[in-house]
Chain A
């Protein structure tokens, strides 16, 4: 049986490599052209070439989003861009515009063409439609429930991709131009201002229905589908997608490695227990900055799956250092400071091959050998002796209560 794909987002080369190192089977990225998420540090063709090479070395794939809904003036250069992606040998492109899908196929490109969630595919007949057009995979709408996904997968029409983690549009994807309307920034061309998360008075004629201290808003809790991964594997879903090309490398490492461990555990041991699900949720919660919920996977989202208060945004457990190098012989670790922390404190380390492990960090020195009282210069490179689990590319965070422990 082909193992389910774990598909992670990446806003730049560093994040993409981290996602792959921490267990993503594939990463999806945006190019400089024809992609949504305009502020996600989109990749140049040279970046994509380097990433494909890196991915090949780690048996991973690169998917490129070409998911803009282009206006007439946006189409210039499209053909050359698709051919360039093909020459670089990306594995797939993710597309919303049927014209772009068709052009990619007509050009004879070797990469797969995946139908974007912007098309809000919610039934097997729509999947069949896309199969007839020669498409290779369909990303289902985030509005699909478990039964819908099961029914669609049972028909084995095309490989199916579903979202498992990250931000949720409150609207059907692609069917919202609220941002255009409120700000003249085009949601379907990368300019979404997230006007749905703003505050609104809700009125019946001149009578206000909303309450001033908690105005109407349309912000969803982020999706977190840890309890459903086993279901998706059994259903025959092809790919599990994490959302968030704007998220940090630390967030990606935490979320990707957590799902990686869970997926591997299920394939190795079978049924997953509530205890393991809770542990994975606790781990993921260390990187969350918004509360999470099940999206549509437990039925129609109710008020508990939405955010109404400003303070619903929460602070993440702090990421303090990145392991640049480690010498096992003299146990010397070279760290890059990410956030302020003190020597001789309790921290937690996790890495591509290390599960989260508590550790008492010792004395810390700068590169001239001066002992530091505090590490408070982000990006500064420091050194310490580390006699515990550690590896290059591992991450160190402060030990603290996770969101679930707080609750």
Chain B
């Protein structure tokens, strides 16, 4: 199953023809890092278009829910079920609890970006009724295959930038105020370059916080066969900082069995270490 983020409703037909099985939209007010947020009226139109082309709809509800938002998210989830949304991506156990108590039957995909680093933790969430668990991006290929060997109900971000930091704070706005900058920030992508390096990490801020992304998008073309062999059957394409044509070009490459040129797979070949050396410590 290939799940892809999307920007334009007019792309749904092309996505379907390109072999994409599901789209991922942002829940207005409750999504983070979404390419396209939709309200309920817009969602009904998207649902109709997706039904026409036999595409499933998942909603990005990845915000960590604050107590005062609970009633609002309950209502939203109930409405999603009524509309016929196939599932929601979540990062907050509170939403699992809400769905359980309201007996909602939509699929829940647990996507905390980090946290999910071993098969026992995957098992835990699957046992709670979660449909699939998105693995942490810092895992090596061997670690992913090890996990999938024990529990294959996992999802992989196959292509696209991934989040490396999620802060609740308005980090860009705060900095601009601190330096008395006249720059007007409009929630668009900026880049961070560490002062001794050259690589750029995308950063942006919205009302839910600030997000920093990997220097390059991940490109899992060379690993997909191994993933499939290990039983993994959910692959996500995240087109943040790109557009729908990028996704379509990507799908075209995959179908032609040509490696897309953009991005890197170096994360699969390296392992992170547990201990930092005092000599290397900064600050």
Contacts and interface: CB of A to CB of B under 8 A. Distances in A.
A200 B194 contact: yes
Contact of B272 (A120, A130, A186): A186
A356 interface: no
Contacts of B137: 177
Given A184-B270, A191-B274, A198-B194, A178 B114 contact: no
Contact of B118 (A99, A123, A179, A216): A99
A218 interface: yes
Nearest to A188: B114
Contacts of A200: 192-195
A104 interface: no
A126 B93 contact: yes
A203 B178 contact: no
A214 to B, nearest CB: 6
Given A122-B94, A152-B67, A209 B190 contact: yes
Interface in A48-78: 68-75
A98 interface: yes
Interface string A185-215: 1101111111111111111110001110011
A303 B272 contact: no
A75 B118 contact: yes
B121 interface: yes
A172 interface: yes
Interface stretch (A143-151, A227-235, A381-389): A143-151
A300 B201 CA distance: 25
B166 A171 contact: yes
A301 B93 contact: no
B193 A181 contact: no
Interface stretch (B95-103, B221-229, B238-246): B95-103
B143 A75 contact: no
A270 to B, nearest CB: 28
A155 to B, nearest CB: 9
Interface string B78-111: 0000000000000111111110010000000000
Contact of B113 (A122, A175, A186, A219): A175
B167 A171 contact: yes
A185 B114 contact: no
Interface residues of B, number: 79
Contacts of B95: 125
Given A126-B94, A143-B168, A171-B167, A189 B121 contact: no
A123 B93 CA distance: 9
B64 interface: yes
A89 B170 CA distance: 43
Contacts of A44: none
A191 B121 contact: no
Contacts of A198: 194-195, 282-283
B172 A129 contact: no
Interface in A152-185: 152, 170-172, 174-185
A261 to B, nearest CB: 31
Contacts of A302: 174, 177
Q: Please report whether the interface of chain B is mostly helix, strand, loop or mixed according to DSSP.
A: mixed
Chain A contact-residue range equals 35 or more
B282 A185 contact: no
A75 B194 CA distance: 34
B169 A301 contact: yes
B115 A174 contact: yes
Interface in B109-153: 112-115, 117-121, 123-125, 136-139, 143, 146-147
A306 B94 contact: no
A193 B281 contact: yes
A184 B121 contact: no
Interface in B165-222: 165-179, 181, 183, 188, 190-195, 200-201, 203, 212, 214-215
Interface string B248-283: 000000000000000000000011111110101111
Contacts of A70: 117-118
Contacts of A339: none
A216 B192 contact: yes
Nearest to A68: B274
A148 B143 contact: no
B42 interface: no
A41 interface: no
A169 B214 CA distance: 19
Given A177-B164, A193-B276, A214-B179, A99 B92 contact: no
Given A120-B64, A200-B194, A180 B171 contact: no
Contacts of B41: none
A338 interface: no
Contact of A210 (B65, B97, B120, B179): B179
B70 interface: yes
Given A148-B68, A172-B167, A98 B194 contact: no
A141 interface: yes
B165 A177 contact: yes
A201 B163 CA distance: 19
Contacts of A148: 66-68
A398 interface: no
A200 to B, nearest CB: 4
Contacts of A245: none
The 6 closest A-B pairs by CB, nearest first: A99-B120, A125-B94, A126-B94, A186-B272, A197-B283, A303-B174
14 contacts: A69-B117, A69-B121, A70-B118, A73-B143, A126-B92, A129-B94, A141-B64, A172-B166, A175-B115, A176-B165, A178-B164, A178-B212, A203-B193, A301-B174
Given A124-B94, A177-B114, A182-B194, 20 more contacts: A38-B275, A72-B143, A99-B118, A120-B92, A121-B94, A123-B67, A124-B67, A125-B70, A129-B93, A147-B67, A176-B165, A180-B272, A186-B274, A188-B114, A189-B272, A189-B274, A194-B282, A198-B195, A306-B171, A306-B175
